[in-house]
Each structure stands twice: as C-alpha cells, then as structure tokens.
A and B are shown apart, each in its own frame.
Chain A
C-alpha cells in the first residue's frame, strides 16, 4: 500500500519536450503531505504539463516523479488511486447532468449503484449543488461547473488533490466560492497542488509557492517570503499626457524607486507604508503640477513578481504552446 512517510510529491529533474519546444525543463518539486503548494506562472509556463506528468497523463522525457511514494511511470495505477486531478477545463461529461456525472465517476471508482447514489447525494449537499443536480452540465455556468468538478474530484477523498487553474475565467464571486471550498478541504488535511496565474490566489491558499516560467523554477518560498521580495504594495500613477511621463518619473524618483510602464502611461513605486506612501505620491504629483488620470494603491500581481524576481516582465517572449493557451493572457490588477 502507500508509504505514509513518503512526501505527497517528489519530482526530480522532470523534463518534457514537445518537438523542439521544451515545456518543462529539469523541474524539481517536493510537496509534503498535508500542505498546499502552488505552481505559479503565466500561460505557457509549463504548469499544466507538469501537473499532467504528475497525474500520469503525460510521460516525462527525463527525470523521476513519485506521488505518495509511487513512481508515475512504472506504477501509474497506484498513482491514479491516490490522486485526483481537476483539469483546467471542467472534466465532466457536458451531456450528462451534474448528478449523473457524479454517479458515473463514483461507479467507475468501483462503488455499486446504491453507494454511488449516496456518495453523489452527499457531495451535492456539501457543495451546495443539489438545486442544479438535474441540469445538464453544458447548461451550467462556469462557477457551477467548477463546483461539480470539485465534487467529482472528491468522490474518494484523495490523498493528493491537484487543481489546475481552478479559478481561471471565473467571476470574482465564483472565485470566492472556490477558494472557500479549497480552504475547507485543506482544513480537513487534504494535500493540495494548485496551479494558478494569480499571485493573489497563491497567497490566499498556499503554504508554499513555486514560481515557474518557461518550464523552469524561478523562485520558491512561502507567500510571505515571495511577497517580501516582490514588495507588498505599490502605488501606480497614470499620467493624462504621455509626454509628461518623464517629468513625473523625475518628480517621483526623488523619493521613490520608480519603474515606468510606457505603454500604460504609468509610473509605479513601491509602497510598503501603504496609505502613507499614497499620500506622499499624491503630494509629489500636486507639487509637480502634472495632470494625472489615476493614482491607485494596488497589491502585487504576477507581473510584479516576475519583474522583481527576474528583472523582466512576464511573457517577454510569448509562447503559449505548452499550456495550450486557450484564452488570452489576463492578469488581474487588484486595485
């Protein structure tokens, strides 16, 4: 059976190429049982490829990975027994109802007809989807599908739950619902590997964050450690007239370490003292007499993390093949 002392995930030098394109390059990952680890990175960073290798859906080109002590290549069946993967796009049969999906998954996991019905009922109650249980999945909203999807992942409480971008494309309210569900699971002791494009999400849910890009690890640590390196808060100022950008930069650089995003007409400065720094920026702008559209305090995003940790913006050279970019890159700017 499962070696209870083995880490939930132990991957060493995992590599996957698609033709000439290296999706994941020599990536190490260790997830201790009972913890939440987040793989954070932009579209095309290799997150999905990594997750699919761990879930036995893709064979690594080199490197080794063990899930709960079982090798993903030589013992895939044992891995599949302890892992539950919720992919980026709802892994449900869209022509079946929510309840039919849950019952089918339960039966495929070896439960009898009656047991499957009981399990599906309990999960629907728990995820508050009883009202939509008899609706065909293709007619559900994105948030509703996600909840059914999560429920399907928990038919047999997995030792390791893998969520691939669980909130990408969801509205903020549905995102909150998913987050609170994930927090409940974590409280029950589920080991979780979570991929996300949102720094905020990794911060909210993970014990440990691994930042990856182009299939390589860029940084790793607790959210607090990463944020300490990235900077807690920033104040962004958008000038009305792009020609005034240089002047504003000069005005602010007297007392701040500025960075300029020319195409967004924005001068950004770190604001560890939050409101106090915001006031100082506003003061400096007033004294300079430069017209601005917006001055805003904002929390760091994935872009900031990349800039701080790699010195270059996210997706400096864009390649979406690895994670099969189904949607445009959207980076939430939390204001």
Chain B
C-alpha cells in the first residue's frame, strides 16, 4: 500500500501570476462562474424582475387611476420610481444569492486552493452586479414597451447611467454584506420585506412625498431611496423635487449616499469575509 515515491504536483501555480495579475485573473474566473449560473437559475433573475413588473402593472393599471400628480403623466411619474425601487431591491437579490452561495461547499474549495482570497468576494460582487444590472435593463425595457417616455439629453443620459451604476455597485456590496451576515436566504428575504420594501414605498416612488403625513414625510425626506427616485425622475423627466436638502439636490445627494454606503459597507464586508475565513 505504501509507495516510496510520490509524483510532484504537475503544475504548481505559475509563479509569474502573482499579486495583482493573479487577483484580476481569479476575479474574472469567479465572475464568469456567477454569470454562468444566471441562465441556470432563472428564478433568481425573475426575483429581481418580476417584483418591479408586478408593481408596474398594479400602479399603472389599478391604483394609478386614482392618483393624479400635478404637471406630469402618472406613467412618467411612476417609472423613475420603479427604477429607484428596483435599484434598492438589488440589496435583496445580492443578499439572497450570497447567503446561499457562501455557505456552499464550493466556497470552501476555493478557499483551500492557492488563489487570491480577495478574488472570492470580488467575483461575488461582480457577478451580483451584472445580475442586478441585467434586472434593471429588463425593467427599463418593460417600461419603454409600456409607453414610458423619458426626455433625456445626451448629458443627462450619461449622468443617469453613471449614477445607476454607482447605485447598483453600492447596493450590491450592501447585499453581499447582509448575505454574509444572515447566512440564510430566507432570513435575507424576510429582512428585505420588513426593512427595504417599506423604505422603497416611502420614497416618493408611487405618490408624492409632499402629500404624506408628518412622520412618514420626515422619514421620506431623508430616506436614501427618496434621493434615488428623485434623481432618476429629475434626469429622465426634468421633474423637480423639493423638501429636504437631498430632495432639492437629488443627483448630488444620490451620489453622496452611494459613496457613503460604499465607505461603510465595503470595509465591513471585507472584515466579515476575513472573519469567515479565520473561523
């Protein structure tokens, strides 16, 4: 049973591929892994697209008949709101995917392999980012198909895309952090329903903030998602918002919120990830 010789490893990792290069290669490979699973788990993409579509249909064709917003058609008022809400729902999508993925045996295998550790979490973020982006693209497509009419100048379009990318990035990192903290997809869904759903509703998404009672209005004035929705609405329809500082300057507020979220969430996520490694 005992053999006296042992075959050496056929290929010890290429010694050239050190540091940054190795990190980039590993991240790309792991991002590819996440992307490849999108068509294999269509229900996950459905999660981030079906909800906005349900809200679109409900508000456009049911509640919308009783809502009148001054100076704008309800359709054009609604779609920027739906986009803001979908961006925020990215937290839930990334969280659910992360909580199920990070507890799988495959992550253990990655961790016991000579790969860049950081690439595991980068790959996760990149994969979830692309999935969220795809969700937004689908939602926008549904909106345009149903007659949403954004008035975009080229400059505004660039600004809008940049802000949305920043927001998806911030919310993806947030979701990845939450996903590592809760470690159960059901808990993540529950948290999303209790915290994120109400915040998206109080953000001037479906009805103007100005008409709200004092308490929900105070929340809505400083709800980060209000800034998001107001910024998208201002860029796509030129529709102004006012109230709190962030509603007077929605584009700047949206960018600041995203940067603030990233500044808090990224270090926490990395710390949490390292803790998981240390056990």
Chain A positions near chain B (C-beta within 8 angstroms): 16, 33-36, 52, 55-59, 77, 80-85, 87-96, 100, 104-105, 107-111, 115, 136, 152, 156-159, 186-191, 207
What would 14 A/B residue contacts be, using CB atoms closer than 8 Å?
A34-B6, A52-B108, A56-B112, A58-B278, A83-B112, A85-B112, A87-B105, A89-B105, A95-B37, A107-B29, A108-B29, A108-B110, A159-B9, A186-B1
Chain A, interface SS category: loop
Q: Is B33 an interface residue (CB 8 A)?
A: yes
A83 to B110, CA, bound (A): 12
Q: How far is the CB of B22 from chain A (nearest CB, A)?
A: 8
0/1 per residue, B1-42, Cβ < 8 Å to A?
111111111111110010000000010011011001100110
**B14 adjacent to A93 (CB under 8 Å):** no
Q: What is the bound-complex CA distance between A92 and B108, given in angstroms?
A: 9
Chain A CB within 8 A of B114 CB = yes
- C-alpha gap A107/B8 in the complex (Å): 19
- Which A-chain residue is minimally distant from B14 (CB atoms)? A110
CA distance A264 to B104 in the complex (A): 38
- Complex contact A95–B41 (CB within 8 A): yes
- Which residues from chain A contact B278 at a C-beta distance below 8 Å? 58-59
Partner of B111, one of A57, A158, A207: A57
Q: Is the CB of B115 within 8 A of A91?
A: no
Q: A201 CA to B6 CA in the complex, in Å?
A: 24
Contact check, B7 vs A80: say whether CB atoms are below 8 A apart. Answer: no
A34-B6, A109-B11, A110-B14 in contact; A95/B36 too (CB < 8 A)? yes
Closest 9 CB pairs of A and B: A189-B3, A95-B37, A91-B109, A58-B279, A110-B13, A91-B105, A95-B40, A80-B114, A89-B105
| Bound CA span A199–B262, Å | 52
| A105 to B40 CA separation, bound complex (whole angstroms) | 19
Residues in chain B near residue A84, CB distance under 8 A? 112
Once A59-B278, A109-B113, A111-B11 are accepted as A-B contacts, the answer to whether A87 and B108 lie under 8 Å apart by CB is yes
**B106: interface (CB < 8 Å):** yes
Q: Are A81 and B6 in contact (CB under 8 A)?
A: no
Tell me how far the C-beta of A314 lies from the nearest C-beta in chain B, rounded to whole angstroms: 26
Looking at the assembled complex, report how far the CB atom of B87 sits from the nearest CB atom of chain A, in whole angstroms: 25
Q: Nearest residue in B to A183 (C-beta to C-beta)?
A: B1
Determine how close the nearest CB of chain A comes to the CB of B101; give it in whole angstroms. Answer: 9
Find chain A residues with CB under 8 A from B4 CB: 34, 189
Taken together as a complex, chains A and B put the C-alpha atoms of A91 and B105 apart, in Å, by: 4
Count B-side interface residues using an 8 Å CB cutoff.
38
Contact residue among B9, B29, B40, B277 (Cβ-Cβ distance under 8 Å from A104): B29
Chain B, Cβ-Cβ closest to A154: B10
A80 in contact with B105 given A33-B6, A35-B2, A189-B5 (CB within 8 Å): no
Is B109 within 8 A of A191, CB to CB? Answer: no
- Closest Cβ–Cβ distance, residue B84 to chain A (whole Å): 30
A135 to chain B, nearest CB (A): 11
Q: Which residues of A contact B108 (CB under 8 A)?
A: 52, 57, 85, 87, 91
**B13 to chain A: which residues have CB within 8 Å?**
81, 109-110
A88 vs B115: C-alpha distance when bound (angstroms): 21
Q: Min CB distance, B144 to chain A, in Å?
A: 31
**A80: which B residues are within 8 A, CB to CB?**
112-114
Q: Which chain A residue lies CB-closest to B276?
A: A57
Among A33, A87, A188, point to the contact of B109 (Cβ < 8 A): A87
Report B-chain residues with C-beta under 8 Å of the C-beta of A100. Answer: 36
Shortest distance from the beta carbon of B221 to any chain A beta carbon, whole Å: 42
B1 touches which of A52, A55, A82, A207 (Cβ 8 Å): A207
Interface contact A188-B3, CB-CB below 8 Å: yes
A189 touches B37 (CB 8 A): no
Q: Is the CB of A59 within 8 A of B14?
A: no
Tell me whether A156 and B10 are in contact in the complex, defined as CB-CB below 8 angstroms, given that A36-B1, A89-B105, A108-B26 are known contacts.
Answer: yes
CA distance in complex: A207, B1 (Å):
8
Indicate with 1 or 0, residue by residue over B73-92, a CB within 8 angstroms of chain A CB atoms: 00000000000000000000
Name the contact of B112 in the complex, choosing from A16, A55, A93 (C-beta under 8 A).
A55
Output the least CB separation between A168 and chain B (Å). 13
Instruction: Name the distance in Å between A224's Cβ and chain B's nearest Cβ.
Output: 13
CA distance A90 to B108 in the complex (A): 10
Least CB distance from B47 to A in Å reads 15
Q: Which residues of A contact B111 (CB under 8 A)?
A: 56-57
- Residue of A94, A107, A110, A159 with highest tally of chain B CB at under 10 A: A110
Q: Which of A57, A83, A88, A100: most chain B CB closer than 10 A?
A: A57
Specify which chain A residues have a CB less than 8 angstroms from the CB of B14 in the assembled complex: 110
Residues of B within 8 A of A34 (CB): 2-4, 6
CA A83 to CA B113, docked complex, whole Å: 8
